[in-house]
Amino acid sequence: MRPGDRLWAAEYLSDRYAAGDHRAAWQRHLQPMPAREALAAAAADPCATPAARMAALTLTPVVRADLEKELAALDGRELDLITAVRADGVARSRVGAALCLTKQGACQRADRLAGRIASTTC
């Protein structure tokens, strides 16, 4: 076991948990399964070995970084949509309702999104 070694972790979990297309890719090309799926498989296994749990833990930063990138992209799309529907003349109350927020909550969300996007582009 090599804690902190992400390649080892991905290979270890692929060997243990890969199924279907991921199993074929692992067996034929030694292509590890995606980190998110490997982590999920180990976390869902009630009989996971300590090594499998450590490998999953080692992949957690990789999965977290991928999710943060996806959330940043979603933030941009959401802000673009809010801006577009407001430009279309949709009332703030309807924007809020679409987001399960009050109209004030929708305005605050748009402000927060704009702040996040500005801080990541500088």
Mean pLDDT along residues 16-23? 96
Instruction: Say if 1 falls within a structural domain.
Output: no
User: Is 34 contained in some domain?
Assistant: yes
Is 60 exceeded by the pLDDT of residue 1? no
Q: What is the pTM of this model?
A: 0.77
Position 60 in a domain? yes
> What is the pLDDT confidence band of residue 78, given thresholds at 50, 70 and 90?
very high
**Number of domains observed in the structure of the chain:** 1
Alpha helices in 1-122 (DSSP H): 6-17, 20-29, 35-44, 50-87, 92-98, 103-121
Q: Is residue 66 part of a domain?
A: yes
Give me the percent of the chain exceeding a pLDDT of 90. Answer: 91
For residue 59, the enclosing domain spans 6-121
